[in-house]
Structure 1
Amino acid sequence: MTTLLQRIAQSPSFRSFIIGVIVFAGVLVGVETSPAMVQQHGSLLKALDHLVLGIFIAEIVVKVGAEGRQPWRYFKDPWNVFDFLVVAACFLPMSAQYVTVLRLARLLRVLRLVHVLPKLQLLVSALLKSIPSMAYVTMLLGLLFYVYGVAGTFLFAGNDPVHFGTLALSLLTLFRVVTLEGWTELLYTQMYGCDRFGYADTPALCTQPSAMPVVAVVFFCTFILLGTMIILNLFIGVIMNALQEAHEEAQEQEQARAEAAGTARTLDEDIVALEQQLSAMQEQLARLRGKVGRQAPPTTEPEPPRLRSA
């Protein structure tokens, strides 16, 4: 039974079937966002959702059963734990007010594609590996934001209170600038003053207009060069490096599995060869015993000694 379950769990057809069910589950959740579809085909959608849930439960049973007498090995894989939690979340006792949480839990089924598709799993592994290095890059970016945020508040708070009135607003504005979203409007407001640009619809907020063309150009251009052109590209470099490492590790693991499978096949072949040799030796020994039995002279019992008569 365990061997059969292992064959099913490792079968490419079974994996392709699960991928199709996951995609179907994602489409099903998308259809349920339409109130009209839910009203017209609510019972059918509910039945299909139960069918998908049943298939996922059967998948877990197959994979756990494939572990044989050590079913806990199924939970050693973090992706299997994620799959189990996604399925278990659908059985949580929730009232009507938490139905949105239940729908979001069902939406997590789509993320199972990351598990069943090796390439997506490789990308996620690369992102997880890059987290330690990205933390230092994030720290550097945070320092840059803080320095420029404080400077922007001191320089532009009076002229542009909407975007630089407080430190929190300055940091939010810098996040907008680092993504290159409408940063030229912010630049022109500081260059020409709020009375001439940027506050035409809200002139009451422009209480202290101040034009700073040189300071504004230096501030925004240096921040974009440091934040967007350099530090954000460091994130890309870190991710690419982690992706390369994850790819190499995946190749090493695949090679190790191939070598282990080759070693197992070699051992099986050696065992079969030894069994054949042993069988041949037993047959030869049986023939030799038969020959020895035919060539041996018949054994006669010695006659008892006769007594002489007196």
Structure 2
Amino acid sequence: MSSLDSPTRLKARNIINSTWFNMTILGLIVLNGLLIGVQTYNHVPSYIQVVQLSILFIFFIEVLLRWHGRRSNREYFADRWNWFDVFILVIGIIPEVAGILFSMDDQQNSIFATLRVLRIVQLTRSIRAIEELRVLIGVLLRSIKSLSYIAVLFLLIMYIYAIMGVTLFKNSNYSESEHLELTLSNPDPYGSLGEAFFTLFRILTGEDWTDLRYNLLNNEHTTKEDGMNTVPTASNWVVTTYHVSWMVIAAYLLVNLVVGAIVNNFQLVLDARREEEERFKSKKDNQNPQINQNPNDGRDDDKSPPPRRTTKRPKV
């Protein structure tokens, strides 16, 4: 028996594959996340920190069990979830150990406080314990390539519309507009290329995009007594066409492309899992043919049972 198949490793493997172990780790992950939320309040009891350190120690034991119960080093390091577990564990250990061993100034304390806040990322470890969440993560990872092409198309169209918006609707008299009072938090929506990008994203979310159109329309309220116009010189139909067309393209067509790509990859992942399960079942059936074997298999059906011997009674 190899060292990787020793009794202790088999025992560790049985533990980490058991339902009660995974449910326990999931419960501790959720409890740890709740305790991190409790620590955001004032006058937190000191035992909360002790409980969190205990949970962190259990996570450390879990990582050791997974390493000890590995079938091979290659298999262990090929599993990205193992890397993720170690990364989250290190994030939790560093600020705790540093706080115990070193006396830090305010700047260092802020750095380690930031790392301590990152412990909330441990909640994402619950993905490993829930199969459906793992499927969703697999779908998102598989969708990265198609989504990247959609993002390129989206940025290209967005850049074209941003250039058009700055060219057509940049208002040099925005500070004297009748619609809006210029403040630091309310700049000209098309005053620069960067602001135009944000305005287009705002339209994509549906946030007051009709108000953006109304504030650019030219009417009797936008012309002052001295004849100065407080809105851009673009005609009203250009303003309307620009905003409606962007809303249709961005909020409907491009967003639906994203949804369609994710749904398509979701179906591909489900089909791949179904094929893998069928292959596993077929392989298991081939390894155990006697389970499905008919008890009468191998019997010669054409061979009839021997005839019953009878004796003739003599006539009297």
Return the TM-score normalized by structure 2: 0.74
Partner residue in 1 for 2:309: none
| Kept in 1: contact 2:9–2:69 (CA 8 A) | yes
2:277 aligns with one of 223, 232, 254: 254
For residues 175-231 of structure 1, the C-alpha deviation after alignment (integer angstroms, 9 at most, x for no partner) is 10111111010010112469649xxxxxxxx85554632111110111111111101
Partner residue in 1 for 2:89: 87
Q: What letter corresponds to residue 125 of structure 1 in structure 2?
A: G
| Structure exhibiting the larger radius of gyration computed from Cα positions | 1
The yes-or-no answer on 1:66 pairing with 2:92 is no
Aligned Cα RMSD in Å? Answer: 2.6
The yes-or-no answer on 1:153 pairing with 2:176 is no
Partner residue in 2 for 1:32: 39
Q: What letter corresponds to residue 76 of structure 1 in structure 2?
A: A
What is the aligned residue count?
Answer: 257
Distance 2:81 2:33 in 1: 18
Superposed counterparts of 1:152-171, under 5 Å: 152-158=165-171, 162-171=188-197
| Kept in 2: contact 1:193–1:212 (CA 8 A) | no
2:204 aligns with one of 160, 175, 178: 178
Partner residue in 1 for 2:113: 100
Per the TM alignment, residue 55 of structure 1 is displaced from its structure 2 partner at its CA by: 1.2
The yes-or-no answer on 1:115 pairing with 2:128 is yes
Distance 1:23 1:12 in 2: 17
Q: What letter corresponds to residue 269 of structure 2 in structure 1?
A: A
Structure 1 vs Structure 2: percent identity of aligned residues?
A: 27
Superposed counterparts of 1:154-303, under 5 Å: 154-158=167-171, 162-192=188-218, 196=222, 210=233, 212-265=235-288
Distance 1:193 1:60 in 2: 69
Q: Structure 1: 5+ residue runs without aligned partners?
A: 198-205, 270-310
Distance 1:22 1:176 in 2: 36
Superposed counterparts of 1:12-51, under 5 Å: 12-36=19-43, 38=44, 41=45, 43-51=46-54
Q: What letter corresponds to residue 50 of structure 2 in structure 1?
A: A
| Kept in 2: contact 1:146–1:171 (CA 8 A) | yes
Distance 1:12 1:65 in 2: 18
CA 1:163–1:117: 2 relative to 1, 3 Å: same
Distance 1:138 1:21 in 2: 38
Distance 1:264 1:80 in 2: 30
| Kept in 2: contact 1:28–1:49 (CA 8 A) | yes
User: Larger deviation: 160-169 or 116-125?
Assistant: 160-169
For residues 74-128 of structure 1, the C-alpha deviation after alignment (integer angstroms, 9 at most, x for no partner) is 2220011101111122232644232322223311110001111110111111011
Distance 1:75 1:119 in 2: 23
Q: Structure 2: 5+ residue runs without aligned partners?
A: 1-7, 99-107, 175-186, 224-228, 293-316
Distance 1:191 1:259 in 2: 69
Partner residue in 1 for 2:56: 53
